[in-house]
C-alpha cells in the first residue's frame, strides 16, 4: 500500500464517502474542474459528475447558506472555503443558522453539513490565507470543530465528520498537507470525534497541541527523551467539544502541562484548556501551566512568518521552565 499525504487522505475520504452515500455533495470555489485550490477534491468531478460536485461563485455566504438548506432536506453537503480567512462572510449563516437549527426546531431538523477549509500559517501566503482563528467557531454552541494532524487522522476524522448529524467545522492545516506520508487503508474506518489522541506516553510533563503544531511538539518530545525527560504528547483533535477526561488524566499523572498552538495567545483554545486544568486538576499541578502560542498580531508576511510560529526552541524552553 503506497503512503499518502494528508491532502491525499482528505481526497480519499471524500471519495469513499461519496461512493458509500449518494447524499454526499461536494461544493465550493474551484472544487470541481480545478480540483480545489490545493487539489483536495481532484478527480471527484470526473468520478461522481456535476450533479454531486459543484463549482460555486466566489460567495462564501451563499456557499454556507446553500449547504444549510441542502442539509436540512436530507443531503450531506461538504462545503469548502478556499482559506480560513475567506470563511468569515459565511459566519452569519454558520453561527445563526447551521449551529442553531437543531435547537431552533427542537430536534425536528438537524444540519449534517461539513465546512472544510485549509487553515494556519507556514506556506508563505498573505494573512487571509494563514490565519488560525479556530476559537471563533469553538466559542459557538452547536458547532463541532475538528483539526487533523496526520494523514490517518484526516481520513478517519473526515469520515466521522461527514457521518455526524450536526454541523462540523473541519480545519485542515495547510503546512501539513504534503509534509508527511502514512499508510492509510481506504476501508471506511472512521475515528471517534470528541476524543483526544495520546500520541506518546510520558511521566514528567504533558504537552497538549493540535493541528500543524504537533509536528514541532513531537520533535521536541523525541529530543527531550534523549535528555532523560519523559513527555506525554496529546493531540486534542476535536477542540469542541473538548475531551476533558484525557487531558485531566494525563496532567494528574505528570503534574505539569505545556499547551502549544499557533493561534494568537489571547482568548485562544489554550486558555480554555488551562482554565479547565486549573479548575479540576489544581491539586495535581506541580508547576504553573505554560502556553506557547502565536503572537497577538496578524500573521506577518513571508520572512517574519517563521518568527511568528512557535518554534521547537520556544517549546523546549517552556518544558524546561515547568520542570524547574
pLDDT of residue 104: 94
Task: Kindly indicate the confidence band of residue 302, based on its pLDDT and cuts at 50, 70 and 90.
Answer: confident
What are the chain's domains? Answer: 4-182 (3.40.50.970), 197-323 (3.40.50.920)
Q: Label the pairing between strands 4-5 and 181-182.
A: antiparallel
* All three cell numbers of 75: 443531503
pLDDT at 289: 98
| 129 flagged as catalytic | yes
CA distance 77 to 97: 15
Catalytic residue among 129, 139, 215, 261: 129
Backbone angles phi, psi at 248, to 5 degrees: -65, -40
Gyration radius of the chain over CA positions: 19
pLDDT tens-digit series, residues 179-214: 999 999 999 999 999 999 999 999 999 999 999 999
Contact predicate 109/193, CB 8 Å: no
**275 — pLDDT class (breaks 50, 70, 90):** very high
pLDDT at 1 over 80: no
Integer Cα distance of 82 and 104 in angstroms = 29
pLDDT at 33: 96
Tell me how far the alpha carbon of residue 63 is from its chain's centroid.
Answer: 20
Q: What is the mean pLDDT of the chain?
A: 97
- Could you tell me the pLDDT band of residue 114, with boundaries at 50, 70 and 90? very high
Which pLDDT score, from 0 to 100, does residue 31 have? 98
The sign of the dihedral angle between the CA atoms of 85, 90, 95, 101 is negative
Q: How many CB atoms neighbour CB 39 within 10 A?
A: 16
Sheet strands (E) in 155-298: 168-173, 181-182, 197-200, 205-209, 231-235, 238-240, 257-264, 290-294
Sheet holding 114-119, edge to edge: 53-55, 24-28, 76-80, 114-119, 168-173, 144-146, 238-240
303 — pLDDT class (breaks 50, 70, 90): confident
Quote the CA–CA distance of 219 and 208 in Å, as a whole number: 13
Residue 35: band (very low, low, confident or very high) from pLDDT cuts 50, 70, 90: very high
Amino acid at each position: 500500500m503506497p503512503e499518502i499525504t494528508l491532502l491525499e487522505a482528505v481526497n480519499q475520504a471524500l471519495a469513499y464517502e461519496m461512493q458509500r452515500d449518494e447524499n454526499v455533495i461536494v461544493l465550493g470555489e474551484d472544487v470541481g474542474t480545478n480540483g480545489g485550490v490545493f487539489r483536495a477534491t481532484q478527480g471527484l468531478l470526473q468520478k461522481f459528475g456535476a450533479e454531486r460536485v459543484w463549482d460555486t461563485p466566489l460567495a462564501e455566504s451563499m456557499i454556507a447558506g446553500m449547504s444549510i438548506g441542502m442539509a436540512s432536506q436530507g443531503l450531506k453537503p461538504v462545503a469548502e472555503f478556499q482559506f480560513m480567512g475567506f470563511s468569515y462572510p459565511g459566519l452569519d449563516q454558520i453561527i445563526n443558522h447551521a449551529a442553531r437549527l437543531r435547537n431552533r426546531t427542537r430536534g425536528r431538523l438537524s444540519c449534517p453539513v461539513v465546512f472544510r477549509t485549509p487553515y494556519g500559517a507556514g506556506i508563505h501566503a498573505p494573512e487571509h490565507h494563514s490565519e488560525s482563528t479556530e476559537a471563533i467557531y469553538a466559542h459557538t454552541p452547536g458547532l463541532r470543530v475538528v483539526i487533523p494532524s496526520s494523514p490517518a487522522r484526516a481520513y478517519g476524522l473526515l469520515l466521522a465528520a461527514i457521518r455526524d448529524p450536526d454541523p462540523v467545522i473541519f480545519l485542515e492545516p495547510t503546512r501539513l498537507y504534503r509534509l508527511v506520508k502514512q499508510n492509510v487503508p481506504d476501508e471506511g474506518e472512521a475515528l471517534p470525534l470528541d476524543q483526544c489522541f495520546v500520541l506518546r506516553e510520558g511521566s514528567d510533563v504533558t504537552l497538549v497541541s493540535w493541528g500543524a503544531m504537533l509536528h514541532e511538539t513531537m520533535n521536541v518530545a523525541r529530543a527531550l527523551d534523549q535528555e532523560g525527560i519523559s513527555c506525554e504528547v496529546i493531540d486534542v483533535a476535536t477542540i469542541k467539544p473538548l475531551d476533558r477526561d484525557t487531558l485531566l488524566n494525563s496532567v494528574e499523572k505528570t503534574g505539569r502541562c505545556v499547551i502549544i498552538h499557533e493561534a494568537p495567545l489571547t482568548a485562544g483554545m489554550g486558555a480554555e484548556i488551562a482554565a479547565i486544568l486549573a479548575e479540576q486538576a489544581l491539586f495535581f499541578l506541580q508547576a504553573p501551566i505554560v502556553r506557547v502560542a502565536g503572537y497577538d498580531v496578524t500573521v506577518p508576511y513571508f520572512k517574519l512568518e517563521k518568527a511568528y510560529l512557535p518554534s521547537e526552541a520556544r517549546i523546549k524552553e517552556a518544558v524546561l521552565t515547568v520542570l524547574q
